[in-house]
A and B are shown apart, each in its own frame.
Chain A
Amino acid sequence: MSNLQVSLYRYNPETDSAPHMEEFEVDTQGRDLMVLDVLHMVKEQDNSLAFRRSCREGVCGSDGMNMNGKNGLACITPLSDVVKGGKLVLRPLPGLPVIRDLVIDMGLFYKQYERIQPYLQNSTQPPSIERLQSPEERDKLDGLYECILCACCSTSCPSFWWNPDKFVGPAGLLQSYRFLADSRDTATHERLSELDDPFSVFRCRGIMNCVAVCPKGLNPTRAIGKIRDMLLADAT
C-alpha cells in the first residue's frame, strides 16, 4: 500500500451552506499518476465529486485547478510535480465563483475573451485561394495561438482577482495580441482603441504569475508588454 492523502475542496450548493475540505485516501501503488487519475479514483469512492475533464492530454483546457497551491492542468501534472509530504491538496481555480466542488463559473473569463473580438478582421476582399503569409510573419503567432483557454493564468493574477470585470486579464490579452500580431488582420487601430483605458491593459502590474503557471509554456506578460508598446505608438 502506498496511500496518498488527498484533501479536496467540496461545495454542493444544494446541501452545503459553506465550502469545506474533505479528506480522502487513494492507493496509488507507488505509481506516479497524473492528478486527473487520482480524481477519477476519488470519484469511484464518492461519485458526487464534480470536476471538468475531456481530452486528458493537456490540449482542451477543461481541468485547470489549484494543486498544492499552484494552478495547472490535472491531466498533465504528475503527482511527483506537486505532492508535498505525501499530501495532495486540490482546490478550484481561485478568484471566480464556484459552482460545485472543483467546477468554477468561467463566465467572466469568457466575457473578457469575447471582449477583445477574438477573430481575424480583414477589410479587404479575400483572394480565391488563401491569403499569403510569409513563414516569418507566421512565426509571430507562435507562443500566442496555442492558448487553450484553461484560465490557469487569469485566475492566478491578482489584478484579475481585483477587477475581473474591467481588466481583460492575461488570457484575453494574449489572444488580443495574437490578432494584433497577425499580418492578415487589418483592425489594429480599432483593437487598440478598445483597450485604451486605465484598466483593460494597464492593470497588469507585471507580477508574472501567468507566466509561472501557463501549462502550455506561453508568456502573456510579454504579449501585454507588446500591446503597451503598440498603444503608446498608436497614441503618438
Chain B
Amino acid sequence: MSNMRSLSFDAIIIGGGGAGLRAGLELAKSGKNTAVLSKVFPTRSHTVSAQGGITCAIASADPNDDWRWHMYDTVKGSDYIADQDAAEYLCTEGPKAVFELEHMGLPFSRFDNGRIYQRPFGGQSKNFGEGGQAARTCAAADRTGHALLHTLYQNNLKHNTTFLNEWYVVDLVKNANGDVVGCIAMDIETGEVAHIESKATVLATGGAGRIYASTTNALINTGDGVGMALRAGFPMQDMEMWQFHPTGIYGAGTLVTEGCRGEGGYLINKDGERFMERYAPNAKDLASRDVVARSMVMEILEGRGAGEDGDHVFLKLDHLGEEVLGKRLPGIVELSKTFAHVDPAKEPIPVVPTCHYMMGGVPTNIHGQAIMPDAEGNDHIVNGLFAVGEVACVSVHGANRLGGNSLLDLVVFGRSAGMFIDNALNAGIDYLAASQSDVEAAMARINRWNESEEGETVPELKRELQQIMQNDFGVFRKEENMEEGVKKLAELRGRIAKGYLPDKSAVFNTARVEALELDNMMEVAEATAISALNRKESRGAHSRYDFPDRDDVNWLKHSVYFPVEKTLGKRDVNFAPKTVDMFEPKIRTY
C-alpha cells in the first residue's frame, strides 16, 4: 500500500458524460487544477445516446414561450415531488446554458429564421396547461445527445481539462471527520491503483439502468456513483422512482425517441387502434412517460398486445413520409432497420416500455452539494462531495422526468456545481487529510475480488440481479412480489460478497471492472427495492396495485434510503420557489 501513487487535484469529476464535462469545463476555464476521471473515453458516455433534444424555453418555436410554463410542466410531470426551488433554477438558468452550448458549436437543427429548431415533447404545455401543446425541445435532428457530448468534450480540449480516461473509480475516500477528500481509482490500461486526493469530488457517474434485464441504457450504466456513495454511508433519495420509456425497441431495448411522437407519430395496439386517445384524451401520445408506459402495459395485459405472445405494441411513423423521417429522425430510421428489421417509412416499429432513467440519486442542493438528511429530516451538507446529472437527485424530476429535461439537467447543474466549486476553491478549502487507514478502507472491495479463489462468477450473478429487478420492480408493482424481491436481493448480496474473479491480470482487465460494477449494481438494486416496498402509494413512475392512489397526506415527500440501517425515511419537498408562487399539487391528468 505504501508504494501506491498519489495524485492531487483541486477538484475531480468522476464521470465524463454531459454533466461531468460541463462541470469540468467550468473549472478548467477558471484555471483550476481539475481532472475528469472516466471509465470510458468521454464520448463513449451514455449522454451520446440521447436523441430527441434538450427542453428549454428559449422562445424560438413560440416567441411568447415562458420559463414559468416549462416549470409548471416539470412540477406537474414530477407528480409534485420535484423541489420547486430547483425546478425554478433549471428553467430560469436553462436558456443561458443552452445558448452557451450553441456558442460552443453544438450543431442544432434550425428554423427558417435561423433560430434553434424546437419540437413538441411529452408533457409540454403553454400557459400552465391551458394553452395546448408546446414545442419546447431544442434538437439536433435526433442526435442531440451525441452533438451535445461531443461539443462539450471538444470545448474541454480547448480549455485543457486534464482527462484520466479509462480510469475506474473504486470507492470514495473519507477522512476521520466524514468529509470526502478523494477516491481510489484504477487505471484500466495498466491495472495500477492510485489514491486521488481532491478538495472537491463530483459524482457525475450517470444512471444504472443495467440493474434491469431490459433497458435502453448503455452497458456502462451500472450506478457506480450510487454504489460508492452508499458504501460510504450516504443516503439516497427517491430510489423507487425509475422511468420506463414507452418506446424501447421490442427485444433489443434500444431507445426510440419521444421526438417520434413529437413529430406526429403515434402508438397503436394489435387492432391498429390509437389507444392513447382513451387514456389521455387531450395530450394523447404526448402525455407524460409514466402515463404512456402504464397505458401500453394495460393494453398488453388486456390482450390487445401485438405479436405471437401479445407482448408489445407498435409505434406508427409511416404517415410522416420519408422526407420528415430523413430530416428529423434519421437516427431512428437507422436504429429500427438494424434492431427491429423494420423500415419505419413502411411499417410500424414494435415497442415496449423499457427501463430508461433513474429519477432518484444522491440528494443535492442546486449547487450540487451532497446532502445528508438525518433521521429527523434535517439537512446536513456533506463536505467535499458533489453530485450532478442522473446520479444526483436535486430534485427536478421528482417521481417522473419529462422528456428533454435530462440534457438540460446535465448542463444547468454541471455548470452550477462548477461555478460553486470554483468560488469555494477561491475562498479556500481545507479538510483533514486522509489517513492510511481511511485509504485502506476504500481499497477493501478491490482487494476482496483480487483475493477471491472460488465462487460464482460475475455474469451469472448479474443476470440473476437483473431478473429480480425486472420481475418484481417493473412498471406495476405488487407488495408480495416486492417483499419476495427484497429477500432474494438480500440473499444475492451474500453471494456477490463471495463472488469469484478468475482473471487476476493487470492490463486492461475488463472482467475486474465488471466485478466492481456488479457491487454497485447490487447497492442500487437494494436501495430501489427497499424504497419501492416502503413507499406505500402510487405516484409518478411508482405504481402499486395495493396502493393505487397518490397519498398527499403521507407521501408528498421525498423518500430517503439509509444504507447502514436499510430503512426508509422521508424528507420535505421544497415548495418555495424564489420568484414565482408555488404550484399547488393538483390531480394530474393529460
Instruction: Let me know if B124 is at the binding interface, CB within 8 A.
Output: no
CB-contact partner of A54 in B218, B255, B507, under 8 A: B218
Contacts of A182 in B (CB 8 A): 105, 107
Tell me, yes or no, whether B46 is within 8 Å of chain A by CB. Answer: yes
Query: Hey, which chain A residues are within 8 Å of B45, CB to CB?
Result: 54, 60
List of A residues within 8 angstroms of B220 by Cβ: 54
B448 at the interface (CB under 8 A from A): no
Task: Using known A-B contacts A14-B505, A100-B507, determine if residue A130 contacts B115 with beta carbons closer than 8 Å.
Answer: yes
- Considering only residues 491-545 of chain B, those with a C-beta below 8 Å from chain A are 501-503, 505-511
Tell me if A96 is interfacial: C-beta within 8 Å of chain B: no
Considering the chains assembled together, what is the distance between the CA atoms of A137 and B146 in angstroms?
20
Asked if residues B44 and A55 are in contact (CB atoms below 8 Å), the reply is yes
How far in angstroms is the closest Cβ of chain A from B442?
25
Interface magnitude class on chain B: 35 or more
Is the beta-carbon distance between B158 and A130 smaller than 8 angstroms?
no
Contact of A190 with B by CB under 8 A = no
Type the 1/0 row for B107-142, where 1 means its CB is closer than 8 Å to any CB of A.
111111111100000000000000000000000100
Structural contact, A47 and B503, CB atoms closer than 8 A: yes
> Chain B nearest CB: distance from A172 CB in Å?
13
In the bound assembly, the distance between CA atoms of A69 and B110 in angstroms comes to: 40
Q: Do the beta carbons of A118 and B154 come within 8 Å of each other?
A: yes
The answer to the question of A68 belonging to the interface, with a C-beta cut-off of 8 Å to chain B, is no
CB of B324 closer than 8 Å to a CB of A: no
Residue-wise, chain A 54-75 has the 8 Å CB interface mask toward B (1 for contact) of 1111111110000000000000
Stretch at the interface among A143-151, A158-166, A199-207: A143-151
B142-178 interface mask toward A, CB cutoff 8 Å, 1 = contact, 0 = none?
0100110011001101100000000000000000000
Q: Which residues of B contact A174 (CB under 8 A)?
A: none
Question: Which of B48, B105, B107, B155 lies in contact with A55, CB distance below 8 A?
Answer: B48
Complex alpha-carbon distance, A141 and B143, angstroms: 13
Q: Cβ of A114 < 8 Å from any Cβ of B?
A: yes
Tell me if B459 is interfacial: C-beta within 8 Å of chain A. Answer: yes
Contact B114 A54 (CB under 8 A): no
Q: Chain A residue with minimal CB distance to B113?
A: A132
Q: Which B-chain residue is minimally distant from A217 (CB atoms)?
A: B334
Query: A19 an interface residue at 8 Å Cβ cutoff?
Result: no
Is B43 in contact with A149, judged by CB distance below 8 angstroms?
A: yes
- With a cutoff of 8 Å between Cβ atoms, the chain A residues found around residue B237 in the complex are none
Chain B residue, CB-CB nearest to A51: B510
A-B contact count (CB 8 A): 151
Inter-chain contact A138/B49, CB cutoff 8 Å = no
Q: How many angstroms between the C-alpha atoms of A162 and B46 in the bound complex?
A: 34
Q: Does A208 contact B (CB under 8 A)?
A: no
**B102 at interface, CB cutoff 8 A:** yes
Chain B contacts of A149 at CB under 8 A?
Answer: 41, 43
A99-B507, A126-B103, A129-B58 given; A114·B157 CB < 8 A: yes
Partner of A47, one of B49, B506, B511: B511
A2 interface hit (Cβ, 8 Å): no
Q: State which residues 2-27 of A face B: CB under 8 Å.
A: 12-15
Smallest CB–CB gap between B344 and chain A, Å? 16
Asked if residues A133 and B505 are in contact (CB atoms below 8 Å), the reply is no
The answer to whether B505 touches A60 (Cβ under 8 A) is no
Complex CA distance for A135 and B146, rounded to whole angstroms: 20
Contact: B154 with A119, CB < 8 Å? yes
Q: Chain B residues near A57 (CB, 8 Å)? A: 49, 254-255, 335, 338-339
Contact B335 A14 (CB under 8 A): no
Contact A99 B105 (CB under 8 A): no
Complex Cα distance, B110 from A184, in Å, reads: 13
B154 & A50 in contact (Cβ 8 Å cutoff) = no
Given contacts A130-B99, A146-B143, contact A76 B338 (CB under 8 A): yes
A211 to B483, CA, bound (A): 55
Q: Which of A183-212 contact B (CB under 8 A)?
A: 184-185
Q: Is the CB of B147 within 8 A of A145?
A: yes
In the complex the two chains form, is B157's CB within 8 Å of A119's CB? yes
B219 within 8 A of A: yes
Contacts of B157 in A (CB 8 A): 114, 118-119
Query: Within 8 Å of chain A (Cβ to Cβ): is B381?
Result: no
Whether A148 contacts B43 by the Cβ 8 Å rule is yes
Say whether B189 contacts A135, CB under 8 Å.
no
- Residues on A with beta carbons closer than 8 Å to the beta carbon of B40: 52, 54, 60, 62
Docked complex Cα distance between A148 and B331 (Å): 13
Report the nearest B residue to A142, measured CB to CB. Answer: B141
Once the chains bind, are B99 and A145 in contact (CB under 8 Å)? Answer: no
Q: When the two chains form their complex, are residues B99 and A119 in contact, meaning their CB atoms are under 8 A apart?
A: no
The CA-CA distance from A185 to B123 in the complex, in Å, is 36
By the criterion CB–CB under 8 Å, are A50 and B510 in contact? yes
**Chain B residues closer than 8 Å to A148, beta-carbon distance:** 43, 48, 146
Contacts A13-B507, A179-B105, A182-B105 supplied; 18 other A-B pairs, CB < 8 Å: A43-B511, A44-B459, A50-B510, A55-B218, A59-B331, A60-B45, A60-B48, A61-B44, A100-B507, A129-B95, A130-B102, A131-B102, A131-B103, A134-B112, A135-B111, A138-B109, A145-B107, A182-B107
Q: Which residues of B contact A (CB under 8 A)?
A: 40-41, 43-46, 48-49, 58, 95, 98-99, 102-105, 107-116, 140, 143, 146-147, 150-151, 154-155, 157-158, 189, 218-220, 254-255, 331, 334-335, 338-339, 457-459, 501-503, 505-511
Q: Can you report 30 A-B residue pairs in the complex whose CB atoms are below 8 A from each other?
A: A12-B507, A14-B506, A14-B507, A47-B459, A47-B503, A48-B503, A50-B508, A57-B49, A59-B146, A62-B40, A62-B41, A78-B338, A99-B508, A100-B508, A103-B508, A106-B41, A118-B157, A119-B104, A119-B154, A120-B104, A120-B105, A129-B99, A130-B58, A130-B108, A135-B111, A138-B109, A141-B107, A145-B107, A145-B140, A179-B105
